[in-house]
Structure 1
Amino acid sequence: MSAEISEKFDLKTLFHQYRRGSHKDYDLFLNILSDLQTKSEDLRVYLRTIKDNVTELSREFEDLVAVLLKLDWASRDVCVVREYQSLLLGLVCAHTYYLRASLRMLVKYFSPPIVKSDTEEVSDEIRQRQEAVFLNVHMVLKAILDSVPMSSTILMPLLHDLFPYIGKPVFVQECFVRNLLQITSYLPNGRQKILELITDRMLKLDDIEQDLTRDLDNRDGSTYDKKCSDKPMTHREANILDVCMQLTLTYISNVCYSKGECDWEATKKLYREMLLVFDRLILPTHASCHVQFILFYLCSTKTPICEGFIDYLWKKVQNPNTESVFRQAAVGYIGSLLARAMFVPVSTVTACLDLMCQWVHLYLDSTSEDVVNADVNHHGPFYCVCQAVFYVFVFRSKEIFETKKGHKWAESLNFQRIVTSRLNPLRICLPVIVKTFSSITRMHQLAFCDTIIERNKRCILPVTSNGLGSSSVVTTLDSYFPFDPYLLNRSGRFIIPLYREYQGCIEEDQELSNDEDDFLPDESSSTVEPQSVSLGKTPTDFLHYGISPGFKHVQDIT
């Protein structure tokens, strides 16, 4: 059919012939619609004709609707795009049973048919062409969401089902995530679910590969440079995660900041939504390595956000009805945030240490005197809080002692009672934390841990659990500090400026006096001067324990 013929074309007559059993002209019309060689002007006329008769498109003509939904319309001329958008909107408004198929077709456009491998750069021309396609799709999707109330309910499961597989090229993953975030601009009520969907996918990427760090550009043993870089990650899954994190952090920045100033109302709303995502997905995920930095960055936007996040975590720790594993994870987040975040002032650190130490002392007061051995199984949250206190104090001690009343305040924490208690936290906490904490507290005469540490090394007693007579040896706390060094390149530009690396010294092991009651070293004993090192410059940054199943140390700390 030419454009001249199609101007006189009567679709109602065609439908009438089809109902009477004459399918020839109807089938010819379907072939013309699906023919890629059909001229844009002819296609525009056909689409307008169908739009004028959209009420006739009952289930009887599903094959015609199927052809329409398979048309590659979004990259055609503007006249065709406008006619198609108008037709599609009229179709789903008149016949809601076509809504799911129509939305599915639109969502599929968010995953461009790129066949290039991850090693090939996508040209600017392709990117611009795809951006034009995405714009056309978003225009009609927004119109449908505004016009059909039930469309958002149907859209969310489709976004989940059509999320590209991890094996798809990086550009495809990038386009889909970018378009999901774009949807939130005209579907604000669906933002939380969209953020939850993106976060869930990133957590899977964060956990997919067991040997990621082997490809972190330091395979020759050289130190890892934490400077921001636009260089793609060598490891494929890490590269996808890096791109997704960059898009997410850019989105958060655009929402929270307007003309360089924080938009408080928008930031609060986004924080509440991300907190729900954190509670449902991030907190229960064991040893993720990078995704939790979304909350880290969000906390940097405004002090009340950071304080609110810490308060939320501390309430979980204090709640005895919360499962022990979640209480311990929450303590890890508190300790890691206080230690690593440059934007957390020392006043907040001291206030949090006050709270945690007060809780520790109350816990010791309520502990039965019959307890004579350290037991991680029964006192896990207690040991995690103690370790968080030691960890934060090690990181922030220099700032604390630079304050006017820093030393007097530190004395009020009564570290000596904690370390000498029957529960013996020095025995359970990680040795490198214990050793460094011992060095700092000894230097400032806040606590004397060396004799206890030596006794713990020599004395590993079995403990009985469950009253069944089965014994187990006390083990080191299974620790997790989530905000340990950020290893992704492109998204790192949001994190590195806010991130504190430990600068200090680790004291070498030295022989202590055999007299366990003597806390002072013998004058004749030889001591080794603390070895001054720049800690935190490599993936084996001091106290680097946030190891995802997909991320492991390049070398062990000794």
Structure 2
Amino acid sequence: MMAAASESVAAALLPSALATASRKHKRSGDDFDAAPKRVRFAETSLGLNGSLEPANDPPPSALDHTITLDMFSKFVVNALDERAAGRNVHYNELRRKFRADPRAGELSDEEPPSSNELRMTLHALTGVVSRLGDNCKQLVSDIVACKWVGRDQMFVGEYVRFLGNLVSAHASYMSEVTRMLVGNFGYLSSSEGQIQGYETVARSLMYERVHYALQFILDLVPTAAVSTLWPHLTENYPHRMEKKGEHTAYLTNILRVIDYVPALRQRILALVTERTIRIDVEVQGYLDDLDDEELAQLEADVQDDYEADDDATSVVSDDSNMSDDEEEPLPTTMTSIQTIRETADKLDSLLAILFGHYSLSFPNDSAFEPSDSESATFEMLHRFFTTTIMPTHRSRFTQFLIFWAAQRSPQFSDRFCVSLIDKAFDNARTVRQRTQAASYLASYVARAKLMPTEDIRIIVRVLCRWLGEFIDQRSIECTGPDANRWAGFYAVAQAVMYIFCFRHRELRELDPESIDDDMDEDDINPPASALSATSTSAVMGGRWTPGLDIMNKVITSKFNPLLVCAKHVVDMFAKVASDNEFLFCWSVLDQNKRRGALPRISNGSLPAGMMVFQGMTNGGAGTLDAFFPFDPPTMCPKMKNWIDDLYVEWSNDDEEVGEDDYDDEEDSMMIGGDDEDEDEGTESDDD
């Protein structure tokens, strides 16, 4: 009896004695508390084989090791026995061990437990993990919440092994453990890996440890991926007001989860798309508050900052790219130019990360047939576009994901364009949905550099044929231009005009008589990437693609789209069409000028007056908004790098259209030099 009592007292005193020994001999190198040798994370067993040591370290004396583990095991068992009996002294001692900040010794005389002491304690707790039920919730919470990612490898290995045994024995702790691990997906301060007396642990290695632990416990409890992990991934997603470092870290880490939990791939990508577009809308809201001069200066400053930054892309694994200054809270008042720049830079970095992620899932060469997995990835992204991006009011940058992805394969481009045409022609859809689809189609066809010339011609023919059939069927109902009643018609007509401004060279075909035997296919139908979208010189001996001549009937009809469509689109179309001897619009424009403007309508996607041609001012107001979602993304230079080789820029060398141009052209409406009968399109009581 006396012997048993002495053994119990010795076990109770064990932690204090070990802590004292640790402080006296912490770096002696000849006891178990000596600083462990550091090895790379990938070279460490992490406790999976039951070992406490890194793979490259020789084990300590077997006898000393066994004695040490036995001493710790007795202390832990004694503390749990006392806890069950209602005595908490040694139980609370266990809790204090894990609640101590490993960096506290730098600021006070009281040195926290060493990693080796905690490691031995964890090993002992793992042996009795079945006893850590509801009566020990506080202890488990302290262990789960302890500072572990920046400790030495041997401790990390034992810690991960403990977590695995814990969730296997007690499913009720799975949520708490998962919440802790996902909580480490955000920005980790470099100080987390700077524990006095130990080598610094890089931020990238800390993230690697978190993912290893998460993958380890999910391998043990696979059903937790959907039931437990997914809710925590959503709950822990940073608020849109958080700093860039928090967002980029979390986005990079949540995308990493897809590697070992592929079942969550679609959910994760849908989530990050939805959260990214929230910031997109916020940026656009700020830009709307700036006047033209302020906006131009801001865009120039953003580009200057980007060009001055040697490390333009943000990579979470590179410690130099994230300063601890980014941990400071964001100001509550978001009004300054600097705040706008920071928010735009945050969005730019997030989109660059998303482009990098998707680039691993798409073909590098559009000449090759996409694989089934690549096609499935595009279909998934296309669903995100349809359900999240396209319906979002005022989105301006996130949609470039689909712009880029669609050009990775001609099949993807066809799929994207066909879906937009279907939406634009679908009378069952709302006016907003139809006009949005027409705007997206026009903007894509005009800007997508890799789009084959024949595909451009086919799309224009389809749009023109629909316009012609619409006029034939509905003109009897039309008494004059009505922006609300015929909004779908005007959106398609504006789409054709916009495409023509960029693609008139591709829409001009060679006459069969002018084709020489020495011409190859590229001479007859040059690829879009080889043509200038800004040249206004006519191709000698050419004719316009079949079906395009319907635009004469469209423009002279009672619907009068030149009055309703956005003025700067109409004016530029009139100039480009005239310069290429395709069609002369000046007489109708002159009549419309005398008539006066109609009330403006909006498709609800972007504010009125959004620039359609970079460097070109909006010279006036039509009634239909000029919403072209693939206008240059000037505020996102990192993202823009991904699309530069796929993008048709507007660069008009001619002077902008002025009022005097209305009187400088012939009054007759002509297409390709042929006279057409004019419809009476100016008599209407509907203004």
Q: Residue 509 of structure 2 contacts residue 544 of structure 2 at CA under 8 Å; is this kept in 1?
A: no
2:576 counterpart of 1:503: no
What are the equivalent positions in structure 2 for 1:457-472 lying under 5 Å apart?
Answer: 457-460=593-596
Q: Secondary structure at the match of 1:510?
A: helix
> Per-residue displacement from partner, 1:392-420 (whole Å, max 9, x unpaired)?
01100023326557624256542111111
| Aligned partner of 1:415 among 548, 551, 570 | 551
What corresponds to 1:439 in structure 2?
A: 575
Change (3 A) 1:392 1:152: same
What corresponds to 2:515 in structure 1?
A: none
Once residues 549 and 243 of structure 2 are traced to their aligned partners in structure 1, the CA distance between those partners, rounded to angstroms, is: 54
| Aligned partner of 2:375 among 262, 265, 268 | 268
What corresponds to 1:492 in structure 2?
A: 640
> Per-residue displacement from partner, 1:352-374 (whole Å, max 9, x unpaired)?
11111111112222215131121
2:630 counterpart of 1:483: yes
What corresponds to 1:538 in structure 2?
A: none
| Aligned partner of 2:466 among 352, 356, 359 | 359
Change (3 A) 1:114 1:366: farther
2:178 counterpart of 1:108: no
Q: Which amino acid in the other structure matches residue 628 of structure 2?
A: F
Change (3 A) 1:383 1:251: same
What corresponds to 2:7 in structure 1?
A: none
What corresponds to 1:332 in structure 2?
A: 439
What corresponds to 1:546 in structure 2?
A: none
Change (3 A) 1:286 1:324: same
Query: With structure 1 as the length reference, what TM-score do the two structures score?
Result: 0.82
Change (3 A) 1:127 1:413: farther
Q: Which amino acid in the other structure matches residue 242 of structure 1?
A: D
Q: Which amino acid in the other structure matches residue 28 of structure 1?
A: E
What corresponds to 2:481 in structure 1?
A: 374
Q: Residue 415 of structure 1 contacts residue 446 of structure 1 at CA under 8 Å; is this kept in 2?
A: no
What corresponds to 1:314 in structure 2?
A: 421
- Tell me by how many angstroms 1:442 deviates: 3.2
What corresponds to 1:245 in structure 2?
A: 351
What corresponds to 2:212 in structure 1?
A: 139
Once residues 503 and 409 of structure 1 are traced to their aligned partners in structure 2, the CA distance between those partners, rounded to angstroms, is: 24
What corresponds to 2:500 in structure 1?
A: 393
What are the equivalent positions in structure 2 for 1:223-302 lying under 5 Å apart?
Answer: 229=307, 231=309, 235-257=341-363, 264-302=371-409
Once residues 507 and 253 of structure 2 are traced to their aligned partners in structure 1, the CA distance between those partners, rounded to angstroms, is: 46
Once residues 388 and 54 of structure 1 are traced to their aligned partners in structure 2, the CA distance between those partners, rounded to angstroms, is: 67
Q: Which amino acid in the other structure matches residue 65 of structure 1?
A: V
Number of equivalent positions: 502
Once residues 66 and 47 of structure 1 are traced to their aligned partners in structure 2, the CA distance between those partners, rounded to angstroms, is: 14
Q: Which amino acid in the other structure matches residue 31 of structure 1?
A: R
Once residues 241 and 642 of structure 2 are traced to their aligned partners in structure 1, the CA distance between those partners, rounded to angstroms, is: 27
Q: Which amino acid in the other structure matches residue 144 of structure 1?
A: I
- Tell me by how many angstroms 1:219 deviates: 2.4
What corresponds to 1:524 in structure 2?
A: none
> Gapped runs of 5+ residues in structure 1?
117-125, 466-473, 521-558
Name whichever of 433-442 and 71-80 sits farther off.
433-442
Q: Secondary structure at the match of 2:659?
A: coil
What corresponds to 2:138 in structure 1?
A: 63
- Tell me by how many angstroms 1:486 deviates: 1.5
Q: Which amino acid in the other structure matches residue 48 of structure 1?
A: H
Q: Which of the pair has the greater relative contact order for Cα pairs under 8 Å at 6+ separation? A: 1
> Per-residue displacement from partner, 1:481-537 (whole Å, max 9, x unpaired)?
0000011122221112211112333333226569997559xxxxxxxxxxxxxxxxx
Q: Residue 555 of structure 2 contacts residue 561 of structure 2 at CA under 8 Å; is this kept in 1?
A: yes
2:82 counterpart of 1:17: yes
Name whichever of 256-265 and 184-193 sits farther off.
256-265
What are the equivalent positions in structure 2 for 1:49-60 lying under 5 Å apart?
Answer: 49-60=124-135
Q: Residue 215 of structure 2 contacts residue 260 of structure 2 at CA under 8 Å; is this kept in 1?
A: yes
Change (3 A) 1:511 1:318: closer
Change (3 A) 1:446 1:92: same
Q: Residue 145 of structure 1 contacts residue 152 of structure 1 at CA under 8 Å; is this kept in 2?
A: no
Once residues 432 and 257 of structure 1 are traced to their aligned partners in structure 2, the CA distance between those partners, rounded to angstroms, is: 38
- Tell me by how many angstroms 1:289 deviates: 1.5
Q: Secondary structure at the match of 2:498?
A: helix
| Aligned partner of 2:278 among 178, 186, 204 | 204
What corresponds to 2:227 in structure 1?
A: 153
| Aligned partner of 1:48 among 123, 134, 151 | 123
Once residues 222 and 246 of structure 1 are traced to their aligned partners in structure 2, the CA distance between those partners, rounded to angstroms, is: 20
Q: Secondary structure at the match of 2:375?
A: helix
What corresponds to 1:532 in structure 2?
A: none
Once residues 237 and 303 of structure 2 are traced to their aligned partners in structure 1, the CA distance between those partners, rounded to angstroms, is: 33
Q: Residue 230 of structure 1 contacts residue 490 of structure 1 at CA under 8 Å; is this kept in 2?
A: no
> Per-residue displacement from partner, 1:331-382 (whole Å, max 9, x unpaired)?
1111101001111121111111111111111222221513112112122111
Change (3 A) 1:128 1:178: farther
Change (3 A) 1:404 1:30: farther
Once residues 394 and 365 of structure 2 are traced to their aligned partners in structure 1, the CA distance between those partners, rounded to angstroms, is: 36
Once residues 461 and 230 of structure 2 are traced to their aligned partners in structure 1, the CA distance between those partners, rounded to angstroms, is: 44
- Tell me by how many angstroms 1:451 deviates: 1.2
What are the equivalent positions in structure 2 for 1:174-213 lying under 5 Å apart?
Answer: 174-209=248-283, 210-212=285-287
2:70 counterpart of 1:7: yes
Q: RMSD of the alignment, in Å?
A: 3.3
Once residues 382 and 260 of structure 1 are traced to their aligned partners in structure 2, the CA distance between those partners, rounded to angstroms, is: 34
Q: Residue 497 of structure 2 contacts residue 573 of structure 2 at CA under 8 Å; is this kept in 1?
A: yes
Query: With structure 2 as the length reference, what TM-score do the two structures score?
Result: 0.67
Name whichever of 411-420 and 208-217 sits farther off.
208-217
2:104 counterpart of 1:31: no
Once residues 219 and 485 of structure 2 are traced to their aligned partners in structure 1, the CA distance between those partners, rounded to angstroms, is: 54
Once residues 298 and 142 of structure 2 are traced to their aligned partners in structure 1, the CA distance between those partners, rounded to angstroms, is: 56
Q: Secondary structure at the match of 1:43?
A: helix
2:291 counterpart of 1:219: no
> Gapped runs of 5+ residues in structure 2?
1-14, 19-31, 33-66, 103-111, 192-198, 313-336, 513-541, 602-620, 671-687
> Per-residue displacement from partner, 1:58-90 (whole Å, max 9, x unpaired)?
122110110111111122111111111121122
Once residues 78 and 260 of structure 1 are traced to their aligned partners in structure 2, the CA distance between those partners, rounded to angstroms, is: 45
What are the equivalent positions in structure 2 for 1:545-556 lying under 5 Å apart?
Answer: none
Q: Secondary structure at the match of 1:311?
A: helix
2:202 counterpart of 1:129: yes
| Aligned partner of 1:80 among 138, 152, 155 | 155
Q: Which amino acid in the other structure matches residue 59 of structure 1?
A: D
Once residues 74 and 224 of structure 1 are traced to their aligned partners in structure 2, the CA distance between those partners, rounded to angstroms, is: 36
What corresponds to 2:674 in structure 1?
A: none
Q: Secondary structure at the match of 2:552?
A: helix
Change (3 A) 1:430 1:101: same
Rg: which structure is higher?
Answer: 2
Q: Which amino acid in the other structure matches residue 508 of structure 1?
A: G
2:174 counterpart of 1:99: yes
Change (3 A) 1:403 1:192: farther
Once residues 557 and 366 of structure 2 are traced to their aligned partners in structure 1, the CA distance between those partners, rounded to angstroms, is: 50
> Per-residue displacement from partner, 1:255-281 (whole Å, max 9, x unpaired)?
225799976333212112111211221
Name whichever of 453-462 and 391-400 sits farther off.
453-462
What are the equivalent positions in structure 2 for 1:159-174 lying under 5 Å apart?
Answer: 159-174=233-248
